[in-house]
Amino acid sequence: MVLRKYRECGICGQEKRTSVKYKDFICKRCRGFRKRLFSQISGTENYPYVLGDRDFLVLLCLEKGDLPINRISIRTRIPLSTLYKIISRLSGGGFIEKRGMICSLTKSTKQKILDLKGWDLDGLLIRNKKRARPCIRFHALQGKLSVSSPPRNYSNYLNKYVRIPVGRNKKETGFKLMISNCLIIFYSSTSISICFPDVLVNSLDEHRVAEGYCKIGLLIDSVIEKLERMFNGLKIDWFCPFGLDNQHIAIKDSKYARRYYEENKEFLDDGNLITDKSHGYYELEAVNPKTAGGDIMECLRLEKESRKSYQIIKKSVK
């Protein structure tokens, strides 16, 4: 007979029921996560060390944000003397960046961790009308790209892409193209705008709001890198959003929005929060660009309460 007991995973800290009797227990999910992450290291010529459980633990700790070394030590329970060696090794391998006593993940490491966690950037960026599951929808995001160095031979690209009229004279001196489902418009060699598709997060958990912002940031970085590869000589400094009065965070297929409309025969509009029916779905939205990041938390609270009361009513009817 195999005796199964609850033991704490040495990486994620959650208790799992297991028959493993080894001194250091790692749950199945963390073992698979670690294996996939480590398998992306392309040979010892690029990284001459074997990553261990503590290396993996430090990477997961930094996933939530930049931290000083002493804070990492407290959260991971790794002694400082050992932690300095681990950070030096991870820094040398290109996994983390060290600025003084502050450590952060490199962009390539963030991308690997996001991919492994199932944040499918390509599959979730386009609106899926068949998706019945409630989700958070970041939409109507657009802005401009600050060009530090224009592309060489700009006129050569005019016949390669779809031309557009620019200025009062309406001469077709600009062009547009699609990259990663983003609409890119060149008004001139130094004036570029970008319109993003919907970014969806398949959860109504308030802790997952950061996932949407992270996806947007990764998408911006990805598009800029592709543009710089496509157009010889083009260098872009930063992205600046515009049209801030039309960039919203919404709860798609909202029970609160549906009930509000059914009870009041109109949509909510209090300045910061609104309800509407977009693309066939009732939505509860945070629309104030200055407070949307905090207002979406209020939206999630209202939605959670509405869904609870809906379940209570549904059970009482049965």
More confident residue, 278 or 118: 278
Instruction: Determine the pLDDT at residue 129.
Output: 39
Domain of residue 286 covers 248-317
Answer with the residue of higher pLDDT: 222 or 23: 222
178 and 269 fall within a common domain: no
Q: Quick check: 282 and 254 in contact, CB under 8 A?
A: yes
- Percentage of residues in the chain having pLDDT higher than 70: 75
pLDDT band at 31 (very low <50, low <70, confident <90, very high): confident
Query: To the nearest whole number, what is the mean pLDDT of the chain?
Result: 76
Each residue's pLDDT tens digit, 76-96: 888 888 899 888 888 877 788
Last residue of a domain, one of 94, 115, 136: 115
**245 pLDDT higher than 70:** no
3-state secondary structure of 119: coil
Q: Do 143 and 227 belong to one domain?
A: yes
Confirm whether 17 is domain-assigned.
no
More confident residue, 292 or 242: 292
Domain end marker among 115, 148, 166: 115
User: Is residue 298 over pLDDT 50?
Assistant: yes
Residue 145 has pLDDT above 50, yes or no: yes
Are 178 and 106 within 8 A, CB to CB? no
pLDDT of residue 123: 39
| pLDDT grade for 185, boundaries at 50, 70 and 90 | very high
Examine the domain organization and report whether 227 and 130 are in the same domain: yes
Identify whether residues 293 and 204 lie together within a single domain. no
Question: Does some domain include residue 20?
Answer: no
In our burial notation (b when 16+ CB lie closer than 10 A, e otherwise), range 80-115 reads eeebeebbebbeebebbbeeeeebebbeebbbbbbe
User: Which pLDDT belongs to residue 112?
Assistant: 64
**253 and 287: one domain?**
yes
Residues 147 and 230 in one domain: yes
Any domain includes 287? yes
Closest to 237 measured CA to CA, from 252, 249, 221: 221
Q: How many domains does the chain have?
A: 3
**Closest to 224 (Cα-Cα) out of 145, 110, 151, 121:** 145
